[in-house]
Amino acid sequence: MPGARSFPEDDWRRGPHVLHNPMTALNPHAALRALPKAELHLHLEGTIEPATVVELAASHGVKLTEREALARYSYTDFRGFLDAFKWVTSFLREPADFALITRRMSEKLISQNVVYAEVFVAVGILLYRRQDVDAMFRAISDAGDEARKNGLHLRWIFDATRQFGPDAAMEVARWAARLKDHGVVAFGIGGEELSIPASAFRAVYEDVAAQGLHRHIHAGEVGGPQSVRDAINFLEVERIGHGIGVMHDPALMDSLAASQIPLEVCPSSNLFTGALARQRKNPSARIEDHPLRELYRRGLMISLGSDDPAMFHTSLDAEYDAGLRMGLTLNELVHIAAWGFVAAFLPSEEKAALLRAFHSKREALGL
């Protein structure tokens, strides 16, 4: 396990670290809620609560009760989750729909003291449904700009759908490049991780890099260590969504600790989709079986994310609470919170400003 951890401003990328003042009058849950936080793994469409689905459906002439909507938010595996995601997003048909869910998402984030978030937008789905990407994203961006008045800074990651293939992914990447002056900071791929090998998307990621966008992928969620290795070796990704499959490969964990390629870890998501059960080869796996503590203590750079919080009945606050249940200390979770800003796809000066504000609040809390 790494030794003492501190937060020197000139060495905020790397551990090992400890808090300057580990004594605080706040209990761990209250302390973590009071800290300003970054959310780096959040899907806009996955923030839609059942009540909002009912509202969206009604606006399109579909009668639906909240109980009926809630029933759709129950699944035992990743395929079931994807089917539910497809159903929920079927009610996103107009720019006003996207503006509504962006406002609702922003309210939730602000209530959790989130001051910075990078949010996935399922542009691959928009294109598949032949929707107007420009009009839909402008509505999202405008609603996101409103949140800045309340202290929330939003950036966007355009997400392609892996099983749709490289050509479809390239179209998403080109849209990301067109709209990068409107807050799009990265391109990523989600969807069915095992459907198409990472190597098939090499040209897409080369184009993304040439356009000056950051590179992201979901890997090691249901896939094993090789899925993560391929994403790094073939696509040169800068950050990995989930990544828990690396727990099976000590050498890869050590390599990630050395390179400090961040993993965005989403424990509740991994539980609800069956990803954790798959990785542990245990259908009864519980949140306490999650490898978060092992990954952190091995020196990997970790951020916590809520992924699709409405669909997994969670929140970013709840993910930090889960970290405590997994045996991470308050010290360690405060460091993970700081790493959320370190791992952000932001210019160094903006990142440093967010970190200064974070450390100022941390010190004021006696942490």
**Does the global pTM surpass 0.75?**
yes
Look at residues 76, 93, 57, 19 and name the one whose alpha carbon lies nearest to residue 365: 19
Active site residue 221: yes
Residue 180 lies in a domain: yes
Number of domains in the chain: 1
Residue 2 lies in a domain: no
Q: What is the CATH number of the domain that holds 147?
A: 3.20.20.140
Residue 364 lies in a domain: no
- The pLDDT assigned to 26 comes to 77
Residue 21 lies in a domain: no
Measured CA to CA, the distance from residue 46 to residue 68 in angstroms comes to: 17
- The pLDDT assigned to 82 comes to 86
- The pLDDT assigned to 24 comes to 58
Residue 71 lies in a domain: yes
- 10-residue block means of pLDDT along the chain (367 residues)? 38 44 73 97 97 96 94 87 92 98 98 98 97 98 96 98 98 98 97 97 98 98 98 98 98 98 98 96 96 98 98 97 96 97 97 97 93
Residue 43 lies in a domain: yes
Q: Rounded to whole angstroms, what are the CA distances from 188 to 122, 133, 252? A: 10, 16, 22
- The pLDDT assigned to 13 comes to 46
Edge-to-edge, what's the strand order for the sheet holding 263-265?
37-43, 114-121, 153-161, 184-190, 214-219, 239-242, 263-265, 302-304
Tally Cβ neighbours within 10 Å of residue 131: 17
Of residues 39, 118, 221, 319, which has the active-site annotation?
221
Residue 9 lies in a domain: no
Residue 5 lies in a domain: no
Half-sphere exposure of 28 (CA within 13 A, CB side): 16
Domain that holds residue 86: 33-358
Per 3-state DSSP, the chain is made up of helix, strand and coil in percentages (nearest 5) of 55, 15, 30
